[in-house]
Every structure is written in structure tokens, then in C-alpha cells.
Structure 1
Amino acid sequence: MMISRIITTALLLLAIPFLTAFAQNSAKIEKVLKEIDPWVLTDTSKILAFIDSTNAVTTEKIQSSELWQPTVSDLSFLLGIDYVSDSKIDNTGRIYFLMRITGESAALFYMDKPMGWPVQLSPNNWTEEGYTISGYSVHPSGDYVLVSVGKHGDEMNDLWYFTRSGSFHPLLVSRTVSYSGSIFDEDNPDVFYLYTYDKKTIQICKYTISELRLDTLYTEPGVFFPTDYYKGQMAVIRRFSAFESQLLLYDVAANKMTELSDTSIYYSASFTNDGQIVTYTSVESTGDEYMKMCIIDPANPKESKVIYDPKMEIDDFAFERKTGIAVVVLNKDGYSELACVDVNGSAIATPQPEIGVISGVSSNEKGEVILTFSTPKTPPAAYKFDLGDNKLEQIASISTFGFDFSNIKVDLIKYKSKDGTEIPAFIYIPSGAKKDGTNPAIVNYHGGPAGQSRPHFQRNMAFALSKGFIYMLPNVRGSSGYGPSYEQADNLEKRFDALNDAERAIDYLIDEGWSNPDKIAIWGASYGGYTVNWLATQCPEKFACIVSEVGVSEPDHTILNSNPIFIPSWEKEYGPVGKDLNRKLAPLYYAENLSRPILITGGFNDPRVPPSDPRRFAYVLSRLGKAVWYFEETEAGHGASVKAQVIHDLATNYVFTMMYVMK
């Protein structure tokens, strides 16, 4: 067996150079990098001058088009249609949710009865100051809410305190330390726990509200975070990589961390009333099996019992200690289903939504459950049901201002990759489209890589379909939603397989007669940006233009210049920094092969993909004489922060695309 594995690995490594369409010829690129690298990370004046210059050129190109104003007008209307998200409920029955209806960014609202008048908690002037809500936690009693707030997309979360009556003040504010993961001591409302992160170290902390005091309790090297607290104990997950983690128990009084498991995959963990822990894990899964919900008794560490095996992906679960019931959100081929089980694995009657996507679920000790749900045709809204009841009641709704989304149609299809693997994808087809090869098309690759494109409500989809675009969303190997084996199928050398999957999505549109290379645009953001950067330098003859948003062009550069604490984790997934594999997988070093126009964007405050990466790619392409346009938003991070930026970015992407595929 060991000899077989060695031979297989050797053959795979020998095959790598032949998987790419072009050989790397990087001498010229290295010379150009010597021009930009001395200032691209540290010289603020040169960076801002570069941004001003490139933004002006890109803005002139896009906004001088006759397509600009009508596109902005249409998208402004569609993006004005709001949404309800991240709904929660406390033990008094008060319902909370995020909604953007009164401003440029989402605000926190509550209402005391279903379909009641929503009362806004967070202030509108936060947007003017660059603040956006990244999340919030409601104390079970409903006495107060803790709101996490970032600034201009920097993801360094401040923490604000809101009373039940609506008064508020900041508790923890810093642009160099992030305060996250608030969990409550149900027996002492004056105390809550959280973890802090300064891009180097994570610390578990205790905050005493009456004293406005933050105490550091525990730290260790690497990535770890608490998920629940109960009677002096914390459930903690230690993360080695996206596919390696460990469950721990932290005793607050003794300041002692105990390992409850060996290395496996653990997502979230909650205490039961008797101190056991319910978790979603792969520890009892083998081969291609999905992860399962298990229960672990800390008195018998490294022993676990399966309580629920749905044989599909679990997106989320809310476990309520007093009822002993978990509300589970399932993912079947991208669509959501609901299930409720108790700690013995017994099923509880549960309503089923129509075909769509559930995003977030919350429950209280009375057995009331709140969730957010959308379909391709209906905006996200909040719904409620009682445990044991099959009735799902809508409790908050959104106006579409009379716009009819009923003609939006999405199909789940599968296409074959180069090695015969079937790859799932969602495809939107405009009414009346024919398989005559003349339809404009967009292939949009999701970020992650462990993300998933899903058939939720997308306001801009109506615009794309109105312009005749076929819109395809592939879930290539490495995507979540299809089990751990599929999610890990792009690690290290296997990333070439996932990139082949991405290329075959384009082939599908051509082979099926939906479109042709002169009519196809490829889009991607974050890791999706990496994907289109790769395709742009490997098979440019298959499409007309590229939109790469906050994307990676050189994995080593991004790994080394974003979050140092995650370097060991990323190296296990992408490859060791400085080694040949990451070099071979870097689109930057194939830049001479690009032969189609490309729009590249960056975010000045981006903590995930450092803006220096897309800057370098755009600079190199420009110096090589390629058709490249670069735009960097100076008040955003890993994507747009406010509605005006979303409209600007989408309008820019669509106008750029239409200029090349609708000639």
C-alpha cells in the first residue's frame, strides 16, 4: 500500500508541468516586479498615486460608455430592494434582524411580535463614519445585544453594547485588535466571553460589563476559538487547517485546556444541560461519507456517539440547552432542508420550506425558532415556527416595489470535467434563449475555495437576464456542500483538477450551443478572482473578457502578506511558501499569455487578499502592454461595504462585460 501511494504521488508530480496550457516564462515578469515591489506594500504616497491614476483611467473608460447611466439606473432600483438577514430570537420572544432599508448599510432592528413594526437599534450615521455591522449576539434574557462593527471593510471588529431600551455605547474599540465570538454566562448577565485577535495572536477573554473590564484568560500559538460556555467550562475548537481541527474543553477557573478529541474536522460545539457536548464532526465518518452530529461526554474524552447522520451536508445548527433539541439546516445540492433532533437522535416534527436557501437559524428556551429564507424569486425574509409544529409562519417581509421576479428560472446541472468527474453548477437561462451559440454568457466562480454558489435571491440576476445573459455558477472541486472528500479534492497538487473543472464550465456553454468564445465573460471574486486570473493566462481563446475582483495572482504573496497566524493552515491547503507548486499555480508568472481585456479590482483595507496582490498583477500586465483596467476602492475591504459601492462595482462589471460581448 505504501509503495503504491509513493508511485502514485510521483506520477502526479511528474504530470503537473503538462497540466498547464502555457509554460512559465517569468524573466520579463521578474524584471517588472523589481519596479513595483519596493513600494507596493509600504510607500503610501506611491500607492495612492497609483490608485488615483488607475482609478481615473478605468472610470473614464467605463463611465464614458453610453451603457453606464442606464445600467446604474437599473441596478440602483434592483439594489434598492432590501433584504432581511441574520434573524435571531431571545427568551422573551423579541425578534431581531438586519435590514438596510433606512440607509447605505445594514442596520439592526427588532420587533416584539410577528409582522410588527420594526424598531431600529443601530444608528444611521454609522455608515457616514465607515462603520458596518459584521454580526451581533443577543443575550438570552433579551436584556442587551452585543454588536460587532468593522470600519471600511477592515474586519477588525469593535464591540458595542445596546440595552433593551435602545441606548448604546462602545465597549471595545480598536483598529489593531478584533473583538469577536461573544458567548454568554447565562447565570451571570454581567459577564460575557469572547476572543481577541491582533493578526498574530488569539486570546480568550472575559468582559465584566459593570466594571468595563477586559481580562485575558488564555492564549496559545495558532488558531483556536470558543464556541459555547456553560457553568465554568468552554467548548473550544483548535484549527490546524480547513480540514483538520480538534475539540477542546477549557476550564475557566483552573485555566486548563483539555483535549477531547484527536484531529478530525469539527464545526461548532454546544453544551447540553448535563455538560455533554453536541458537535458537527467527521470523527465518525469514513471515506466519502458526510460529517455527522455527535455527542461527546467530557468525562470520556475521545469517545463520541452519533446522534444524527443526515447523509448530506449540514450548513448550520442551533442547539437550545433547555429543550435539548437541535434545529439543523441541511444542504442538498445547494438547496436547504430543515430537521430537528434531540440529544438521543429522535426526530421532531419540522416544517419544510419551499425550494430555496436558509441562511441562519436561531431558537429560544420556549421552543420558538427563527430563520431567514429566500428563493431565486423572493427576497430574504424572516420566518418562525414552534418546535413540534409543521407550520412555517412569515414574520417579516420585504417589498419588491412591484417588480416581478417570477420569470427567473434556475436549473441544477452537471457537466463532466477532463477526468470524467461530474461537476455541479447552477445555470440561469433567460426566457426565449435558444441553443444557437449567440447568447451572451457569464461564468461566475465563487470564492473560498471552500464556498458554494447557491440558488438564493440575487437582485442583480434580473438585470443579467433582462440583457439576455446566460449566467452559470459552477461548484468545482474544493467547494463546500458536497462532503469533506469533495471539499478537499483541490488541496495541493489537486488544485489543477479544480482549475480544469473551471475551464470545463466554459466548454459546457460552448458544447451545448448556448454561447461561443466571443460572447462569454468570466467573473470571480476572492478565490474566484484567482480562478479567472488562472483561466485568463491559460485558455484566453475561450472567452472575450475577464472580471477579477479582489483576486489572488500569486499565492505566496497573499499568504505572506495577509494574516500571519493562518500561514500554517494555508500551506496545508495551497502548498508551502517558496516551493515550486505555488509558483506553478501563480497566474502572475503566466501574465505574458493573457490576450483578452481584463478588469481587476482591489480593496484598500482588504485583510484577506492584500490589495498589493491585485495591484502587482495589474501593474505587470500594464507594463507588458496588455489590455488591463484596475480600480481600487479606498474605503472598502474584501468587497463592497455599502450599497453605493455595490451598485458602482456591479455597474462597472456589467458595462465592462457588455462592451466586449455585445459588440
Structure 2
Amino acid sequence: MNKLKNLLIAAAFVSSLSINAQTVNYPVTKKTDVVNDYHGVKVADPYRWLEDDNSAETKDWVKAENKVTRQYLDAIPFRNKIRERLEKIWNFPKYGTPHQEGKYIIFSKNDGMQNQSILYIQEGLTGTPRVLLDPNKISNNGTAALGEYAVSNDGKYFAYSVAKAGSDWNDIYVMEVETGKLLTDQIKWVKFSGISWHGDGFYYSAYDAPKKGEELSKKNEFHKIYFHKVGTSQDKDQLIYKNDNFPLRNYGATVTNDEQYLIMSETAGTSGNALYVKNLKKENADFIKVAEGFDFDYGVVENIKGKLLVHTNDGASRYRLILIDPEKPARENWTTVINEEKNVLQSAVVVGGHIIATYMKDVSNKSVLFSIDGKMLHEIATPGIGTISGFTGKPEDKFSFYSFASFTMPTTIFRYDVAKNSSAIFSQPKLDFSTTNFETRQVFYTSKDGTKVPMFIVHKKGLKLDGKNPVYLYGYGGFNISLTPAFSAARMIWLEKGGVLAIPNLRGGGEYGEEWHKAGTLLQKQNVFDDFISAAEYLIKQNYTNSSKLVIAGGSNGGLLVGACMTQRPDLFKVALPAVGVMDMLRFHKFTIGWAWTGDYGSSDDAEQFKYILKYSPLHNLKAGVHYPATLVTTADHDDRVVPAHSFKFAATLQEKHVGENPVLIRIETEAGHGAGKPTSKQIDEWSDVWSFTFKNLGLNY
């Protein structure tokens, strides 16, 4: 057989199509005879070789596909106009929620077009900000991103992690707060880890160094907790905990603010954990298990007079706050501080001797101030329907910071005075465009099985319901994640041009607690796809749009959503935009952290689950001779969360089996990962391509 690169340039072996006088020549992708036996069922995997991200053949394939995609996108006459508008919309100051660290206030800020936000520090509310860390100086192209960070309790040291080129792998560094001097400390192969100080060192989680060439694809096993003392090398770090009996578990360590307790969380997936506590003020103390895993979630909020205030859905699908005494951890000794109510208790923090609890009511946030013993005092006033992030603060702080955002209001930072129950704006971005001519409404539509599902719809005021409006339908539906209102500069392009943004809150998310989450997992995963398809049908029935103007989009688990829906109902959508999606549902658990998703998805290793998964796995449900929507698959070469092989194999199969004039392309970003920390320049490049592709294939001009 000829080498792949010869196949790629041979005109006789190239498939092509013509759309709007634009020709797309797809590279012919080599097929092999790989077949797997799953519980007696033979499943072909002809593009298995694309899983090898280090092979020359795969790299040649990526170059060939990118070349075809770039030729198509660069020929769109209005792409540059879209990019210019995106740059203008994007260019406004963006602030992160500040937090206090002793006498200091630390916050992030991006002036507008900087690739990465800069971290600033100032003394008190009136101090002059100075740069604490500028990630833009770590790499020349802005692909180094700040991850976790923490200040030592004495305010002397600042530890921070850096991810490069979008990978989940992080390195931890230490600097002096006062002088900004970078110390010699460097910790490698950190992943899924916080940084939690105790005295002159901190706890973190890491894996053993992978073999060369396996960094971005090897299954992550044997997570460990270490303690690093400032001024020492990594090989001197103390191993705090490991469990060789269970290689597929993750461990995280945090220290309570008073440094009395070390809290360890053990997880076997993405939801549910066991909880352990160790008294750091007792010599030779060992970990004590205070909550069994892995049916429920337990998160320690604070140490209150020797008892742990814990946020949990144990005995409360929509969460409650309880107190656990580490000296008497048996559940009969647990006491409830704040009971479960009809709204989901998303988070809690202790600030100024009070509890600030944030709830979610029909996918919008409200926050409430409680006394330390759980008595409701005040509801905290916010600007309206939207998302509250934060609050930040410690028990001794007199005020807290939080942020608020909506679909039409960029993130605004507030300072909340606990004693006065009053909020004041700390920072608010100034825009050179107006958002006042847009409106947001929430509807509740009926899914296939009769379940009522909420959906936000955003559009220009005065929209005509004539069935001709372009609609961008975005969803996720998994892992207990809620899609609450958020401002997106990128989506303003769509809204400005009269597009409708629709975001349904699908089952599998956390919008209505654990029951809502479970209803979209395992052998009920089809509910998620039914909810999304029903949202599209609702928008058509209500005369917002029609199938020729309907775009579906989603990333990661949302990429799976788009892949499943476009294969189940290819007639319903005109454009499909699956980003960094989980497309091969039979093999996802064999790469990096994929094993942790089996709690939501199940696994092909289980016979019953295999039969169910096979029915919706996007890769395995592409059929020859079907006219699929115009599709732009997006992924990145350094995505070690959902490895790019998912998108590679899906795109190759789609190009093989699809018929008709709709283009089906794949855009593979270089030096980027799953999405977190992606530099501004790359975000704008990608959105320019996505919107250009979308507008062109809807027959719209810009």
C-alpha cells in the first residue's frame, strides 16, 4: 500500500463536492481491517491508526485535512470582516473575581486583547495594583496559561501552576509575594490538583512521569498526594497518600483556613467522593474516613470550632449543609445546618462570621446570608436573572467579592459588606457597543417523554416569529454541569446580525439537582439527545426558525451531544458544530482521564451498557449515503482531556459516508487543548472560522 502522503496528493483518489462554486477535495483516509469483539458483537474500527498522535501518518493526515479546511474557510469573502468585528467586540477590560489574602487583594484583569489575563495584587481596597504574575511573558505565543494559585497563610509566598499549549499537565512554581522573586522550586507532572498551604509548604496531587510520546494519550493512573516544602527539589517531596489497589481513582488535598485539618477527597469518577480528614495539630495523626464513597458529593466549606461544615447531596438531592465532628464522624452524629429546599444549593462560604449560600432557581442564581448556625437573615440583592460566581472570602474577612453576569451583561464585580448587607460595584467593563436592544426569555418545552425542560432564548427586541430566523442551538447535558446565563463576546456577532441564541438546560446537567443529573446518564443518556432534539422541534413549531436555518453546537460532552443528534436526525439541522467531542463511545475510557466518565456514560466493558452505548455512539452511527448537515468538527493537537482521535476518526468516517453538497470539515488547532487557557488570538481565529462557516452554509452574508 502506498504511503498516506502519496494517497493525499493523488487526484485519482480524491473525493470532491461543489457548493456555491466552491470545491472541497477531501483527502482519502487509509482504512485498515481492525475489528473488535464486544461481547460477541464484531465492530470495525478502520481508522484506529489515527489514535496514534505521534505517528508520521497521523501528522500528515492532520496537515492534509487542515489544508483542505483552510482553503475552504479562507475563500469565504466575509471572513476578514467577521474577524475585524470580533476583535472590536472582544476589546474591553475583563476582570476576575478578587479575593483577600491577609492585607492583600488579588485579582486578574485582561485589558481586552491580551492573550492571557494578568494577575494583580494590591494592599487593601485603596492600594495601587501591581503585577504579581503576567502569563503572557511565559511563552512567546500566549499559550502558557495560569492554572491554580494560592498565597501562604503568612503572606510570604505565592505558589502557582502553569499549563502549556492547552494540556492538562501543569508545572508548579513559587515566588516571593513582596519582591516578585521567582524561587528555584519547580514541580512537574501535576494534574487535577489544587495547591493548599500548610506552614512553609503545600499539598498537591500528581502522577508519575509518563513515558516519552505517551504524555497526551496514556491512561492516567495512580494519582498521589505530596507535600512540598519551599526551597527543596521535587524529589524531596513527601508522599502523603497513594492507593496502589485502585489505580483509577483521584485524590485531592485541601487544608482548612485555620490549618487544623487536612481534608482528602477520593473520587472514582466525575461525581461522588469519599471524604477523609487528618488533624494536623495532632502528632502522628492518620486520616479518618468521615464519609463513604461514591454515591454522594461531600465538600468541606469550613472548620467551625472543630467541626466540619460540609456541602452535600447525601440525603438531599438539591444539597444541604451539615456539620461533621471528626472526633465522632458516624453519620448518626451529623447535624443539619441548612436544610434542602426546592432550589439547588450550589455553593456556600463562611465570611465575616456568617454563611453566604448561593442557590439556583430555574437556572438563575440568588444568594442568601445566614447566621453561622443556619438562620436565614437576608437575600442578597443582585441585578436580575443571571449567574453569580464567588463569593470569595474567609471567616475573618468583613467583606466578600462576587461577580454577576447575564446573556446581555458582561461580568461585573461587586464587593459585599456582610455587616451592612450591601453590595457596591468594584469593577464594571465599559463596552463600545450596546446590549440594551436584546432580550432574554425563558420557556419550558416538553421533551419526548413528557418532561418539562427549561430553555433560554436570546434575540433582538421585536423579533418576527416568521419561521425564517437563523437559530444557534447550544447544549451540554452531562456531568452535573449547569448552563446558567453567561455573557459571550463571540456570540454578539450572531445576535447583532439578527440571529437567535437558544440554550436548553438538558437532563444530565445539575440544574435541578442530582435527580436531573441521573436522568441523563448511563442507560438514560438518550434522554439528553431527546431533550435537545425536542428543543429544536419546539423552536420550529413556535415559528422561530426552520431546519434550513438551524445550527447546533456543543463542546466536549456537548460535542457528543451534537454528534449523536446529527446522526439521529440529520434532516433536522442545517449546520453542526461539534467541538472537542467524545465521539468514540466504545473506547473513550482507554485514554487519559476518560475512565472517570464511566459514571455518566457507562462502559463498553459491560455487556448491557455496551449495547446501549452502541446505539448512540456518534462514530458508530454514521451511515453511508446519508445527507448530513454542513459540519465543522473542531479539536486541538494538545487536547489530553478528550483526545483528538475522537474527532479524527469521526471526521474521516463522516467524509467517507456523507453524500450531498454540505461540506464536512475538520479544523485542528495546534498548540491548544480542550479549551481552558486558550489565548485570545486563537479564540478569535477559531470563532472567525466557525461563524464564517456557519453564515456561509446558512446562505447569510456578513
The TM-score, its normalising length taken from structure 2, stands at 0.84
Q: Aligned letter for 1:650?
A: W
| 1:520-566 CA distance string (max 9 Å, x none) | 11111111111110111111111111111101111232221132xx6
Give the alignment partner of residue 586 of structure 2, picking from 534, 556, 562: 556
2:588 paired with 1:572: no
- Who is 1:163 aligned against? 176
Residues 1:80 and 1:116: Cα distance change in structure 2 (over 3 Å): farther
Contact 1:437 1:510 in 2 (8 A): yes
Give the alignment partner of residue 283 of structure 1, picking from 297, 305, 314: 314
- Who is 1:624 aligned against? 657
- Who is 1:378 aligned against? 409
Question: Gaps spanning 5+ residues in structure 1: where?
Answer: 1-25
Aligned equivalents of 1:466 and 1:108: distance in 2? 32
Give the alignment partner of residue 494 of structure 1, picking from 508, 518, 524: 524
User: How do 1:161-560 and structure 2 match up within 5 A?
Assistant: 161-169=174-182, 173=186, 176-178=189-191, 180-185=193-198, 188=199, 190-198=200-208, 199-212=220-233, 213-220=236-243, 221=246, 222-229=249-256, 231=259, 233-251=261-279, 253-254=283-284, 256-263=286-293, 264-285=295-316, 289-303=317-331, 304-309=334-339, 311=341, 312-320=343-351, 323-349=352-378, 351-355=380-384, 356-364=386-394, 365-400=396-431, 402-446=432-476, 448-560=478-590
Aligned equivalents of 1:526 and 1:316: distance in 2? 24
User: How do 1:583-622 and structure 2 match up within 5 A?
Assistant: 583-592=614-623, 593=626, 595-622=628-655
- Who is 1:634 aligned against? 670
Residues 1:146 and 1:467: Cα distance change in structure 2 (over 3 Å): same
Give the alignment partner of residue 688 of structure 2, picking from 644, 651, 659: 651
| 1:333-375 CA distance string (max 9 Å, x none) | 2222112334411234463211221222211323221122223
SS of the aligned residue for 1:378 comes to coil
Contact 1:228 1:235 in 2 (8 A): yes
Residues 1:151 and 1:494: Cα distance change in structure 2 (over 3 Å): same
Deviation, 1:429, is 1.9
Identity of aligned residues (%): 21
SS of the aligned residue for 2:684 comes to helix
Aligned equivalents of 2:158 and 2:516: distance in 1? 38
Contact 1:158 1:172 in 2 (8 A): no
Contact 2:174 2:186 in 1 (8 A): no
- Who is 1:10 aligned against? none
| 1:46-90 CA distance string (max 9 Å, x none) | 222111111111111112111201111111111222321242112
- The count of aligned residue pairs is 626
Q: Aligned letter for 1:634?
A: T
Q: Aligned letter for 1:628?
A: V
Aligned equivalents of 2:555 and 2:405: distance in 1? 22
Deviation, 1:480, is 1.3
Contact 1:331 1:337 in 2 (8 A): yes
Residues 1:243 and 1:161: Cα distance change in structure 2 (over 3 Å): closer
- Who is 1:131 aligned against? 144
Aligned equivalents of 1:648 and 1:102: distance in 2? 13
Contact 2:270 2:479 in 1 (8 A): no
Deviation, 1:243, is 4.0
Residues 1:357 and 1:39: Cα distance change in structure 2 (over 3 Å): closer
Aligned equivalents of 1:95 and 1:184: distance in 2? 17
Question: Gaps spanning 5+ residues in structure 2: where?
Answer: 1-30, 37-42, 209-219
SS of the aligned residue for 1:76 comes to helix
Contact 1:368 1:386 in 2 (8 A): yes
SS of the aligned residue for 1:97 comes to strand
| 1:207-258 CA distance string (max 9 Å, x none) | 2114455221111232232233455531222223344322221355536222
Residues 1:160 and 1:182: Cα distance change in structure 2 (over 3 Å): same
Residues 1:268 and 1:171: Cα distance change in structure 2 (over 3 Å): farther
Give the alignment partner of residue 95 of structure 2, picking from 84, 103, 106: 84
Residues 1:173 and 1:481: Cα distance change in structure 2 (over 3 Å): farther
Contact 1:329 1:339 in 2 (8 A): yes
Aligned equivalents of 2:642 and 2:597: distance in 1? 13
Residues 1:431 and 1:594: Cα distance change in structure 2 (over 3 Å): same
Q: Aligned letter for 1:654?
A: W
**RMSD of aligned alpha carbons:** 2.6
Aligned equivalents of 1:523 and 1:47: distance in 2? 26
Aligned equivalents of 2:75 and 2:50: distance in 1? 31
Contact 2:100 2:393 in 1 (8 A): yes
Residues 1:537 and 1:92: Cα distance change in structure 2 (over 3 Å): same
Residues 1:584 and 1:251: Cα distance change in structure 2 (over 3 Å): farther
Aligned equivalents of 2:109 and 2:193: distance in 1? 18
Aligned equivalents of 2:429 and 2:124: distance in 1? 16
Deviation, 1:611, is 0.5
Deviation, 1:101, is 4.0
- Who is 2:214 aligned against? none
Contact 2:151 2:197 in 1 (8 A): no
Deviation, 1:651, is 1.4
| 1:608-650 CA distance string (max 9 Å, x none) | 1110110010111122255410111121100271001111111
Q: Aligned letter for 1:284?
A: G
Deviation, 1:581, is 2.2
Please, which moves more after superposition, 542-551 or 192-201?
192-201
Contact 1:536 1:594 in 2 (8 A): no
Please, which moves more after superposition, 612-621 or 109-118?
109-118
Aligned equivalents of 1:197 and 1:86: distance in 2? 30
- Who is 1:145 aligned against? 158
Q: Aligned letter for 1:79?
A: W
Residues 1:243 and 1:561: Cα distance change in structure 2 (over 3 Å): closer
Contact 1:327 1:340 in 2 (8 A): yes
Aligned equivalents of 1:205 and 1:243: distance in 2? 23
Aligned equivalents of 1:147 and 1:27: distance in 2? 45
Residues 1:620 and 1:175: Cα distance change in structure 2 (over 3 Å): farther
User: How do 1:100-119 and structure 2 match up within 5 A?
Assistant: 101=112, 103-114=114-125, 117-119=128-130
Q: Aligned letter for 2:628?
A: S
SS of the aligned residue for 2:96 comes to strand
The TM-score, its normalising length taken from structure 1, stands at 0.88
Contact 1:228 1:271 in 2 (8 A): no
Please, which moves more after superposition, 631-640 or 31-40?
31-40
SS of the aligned residue for 2:530 comes to helix
Contact 1:262 1:302 in 2 (8 A): no
- Who is 1:97 aligned against? 108
